Amino acid sequence: MRLPSLASIFRLGLKELKSLWADKTLLLLICWAFSGAIYEAATGVSQELNNAPVAIVDEDRSPLSQRIADAFYPPYFRQPAMIRLAEVDAGMDSGRYNFVLVIPANFQRDVLAGKSPDLQLNIDATIMSQAFIGANYIRSIALGEIAEYLTGTRAAAAAPVRLSSRVLFNPNLKGFWFGGVMEAINNVTMLTIILVGAAFIREREHGTVEHLLVMPLTPFEIMLAKIWANGLAVLIGVSFALAVMVERVLAVPIAGSLPLFLGAAACYLFAAASIGIFLGTLARSMPQFGLLVILCIIPLMLLSGGVSPRESMPQFIQDLMLAAPTTYFVRLAQAILYRGAGLDVVWPDLAAMSAVGAVFFVIALLRFRKAVTQTQV
């Protein structure tokens, strides 16, 4: 058994890069994934309240009720629509209003008399996270205006304790800071699996597998060549995404070391590429490979902690996903890019990811050798 030839791996990798350059569809996918998709993911889905349509039913028509109505203004809310009580259900059913505040008759009189009158807030909960945020905003606005009307100040009554909040890593609580960076992290997984698996399918469809088999190449060398060539394209793409799209275009600061993240991503590429090669050996055509990729990538993205915290998932899912290298990669990537963690912090995840990735690499190599043997037969 001869040792792997670095020269053969390098030359075969160059052939992979030339094949990738000739495949304009995959090139377009790479360009979009690390440019337009980053911007779209960051700005297309807003986690903050923005221009929410609100209506007010003012049955009191007093200076206090007018004061509350005037307190709603952009960018959080649109100019409130003043409607009648009979229009509430129709407005909510049609989606014209996300929030409807009902101020009852004699509201100002009851407030001045020391009573505790109720304000009714109708909320369209189909807007999910914004429903909760908007309800808190409206509550703060109403209570603040009432307090200022009665006492001349918006300060609340003294509490027995004082809670001082200190917001770290995202002081303005901007949701798009999370979306753009996570899209770049997730696209490393997606494109690595797609590019490496598609490279194997392309060899089979073009009939060049037989050419490789008659050359003095081992399956190990073929796999390494595909991994380094396609991995290089992914690393260049994610470097552009973070340095240009995230830091320049979106103006999102990267807290940690970009070289450290790229080094960790290079280690992760072996695991993700091994998954792509394994799927490529199972599929017989590009459409089959596409279906397998969907079944594989979606669980990896949804359950690895990139979309929602792993702690909120069932314990069985948390334990199961420890066998996936994506779990460790997402966790260390977030630590580096969001919180500025160094190697002394992320090395346990890096070691675990490398170990799990080595297992995936061995499994893919065994499957690849079997596929090559079947082709020779």
pLDDT tens-digit profile, the chain (377 residues): 455 677 888 888 888 888 888 888 888 989 999 998 898 888 776 667 788 899 999 999 999 999 999 999 888 888 999 999 999 988 888 888 989 999 999 999 998 988 888 899 999 887 766 788 888 889 888 888 888 888 877 665 555 666 666 777 777 667 777 888 888 999 999 999 999 888 888 777 776 666 666 676 777 888 888 888 999 999 999 999 999 999 899 888 888 899 999 999 999 998 899 898 888 888 888 888 888 888 888 888 888 888 778 888 889 988 999 999 999 999 999 999 988 889 999 999 999 999 998 898 888 888 877 766 665 55
Please tell me the predicted confidence (pLDDT) of residue 347.
93
Q: Is residue 68 a contact partner of residue 43, using CB atoms and an 8 Å limit?
A: no
User: For residue 281, which of 358, 222, 204 has the smallest C-alpha distance?
Assistant: 204
Rounded Cα distance between 333 and 339, Å, is 9
Query: What pTM was estimated for this model as a whole?
Result: 0.78
Token reading at 351? 């070691």
Number of neighbours of residue 318 by Cβ within 10 angstroms: 15
Bridge partners, 121 (sequence order):
101
Please tell me the predicted confidence (pLDDT) of residue 255.
86
Rounded Cα distance between 19 and 359, Å, is 28
Please tell me the predicted confidence (pLDDT) of residue 81.
92
From the number of C-beta atoms within 10 Å of its C-beta (0-12, 13-18, 19+), residue 177 rates as: buried
Quick one: which H or E segment has residue 182? helix 176-206
Is the sign of the CA dihedral 270, 272, 275, 281 positive or negative? Answer: negative
Phi and psi angles of residue 53, each rounded to the nearest 5 degrees, phi first: -75, 125
- Could you say which DSSP state residue 81 is in? E
Please tell me the predicted confidence (pLDDT) of residue 212.
65
Please tell me the predicted confidence (pLDDT) of residue 15.
84
Rounded Cα distance between 196 and 94, Å, is 48
Rounded Cα distance between 305 and 321, Å, is 10
Please tell me the predicted confidence (pLDDT) of residue 4.
66
Rounded Cα distance between 120 and 108, Å, is 15
Number of neighbours of residue 34 by Cβ within 10 angstroms: 24
Q: Is residue 123 a contact partner of residue 98, using CB atoms and an 8 Å limit?
A: yes
Please tell me the predicted confidence (pLDDT) of residue 207.
66
- Could you say which DSSP state residue 77 is in? B
> Which residue segments constitute the domains of the chain, with CATH numbers given?
6-44+175-376 (no CATH), 54-151 (3.40.1710.10)
Token reading at 69? 């109505």
Say whether 101 sits in a helix, a strand or coil: strand
**Could you check whether the bond before residue 75 is cis, i.e. omega within 30 degrees of 0?**
yes
Please state the separation of Cα 75 from the chain's center in Å: 25
Rounded Cα distance between 339 and 111, Å, is 47
Rounded to 5 degrees, what angle do the CA atoms 277, 282, 284 make? 105
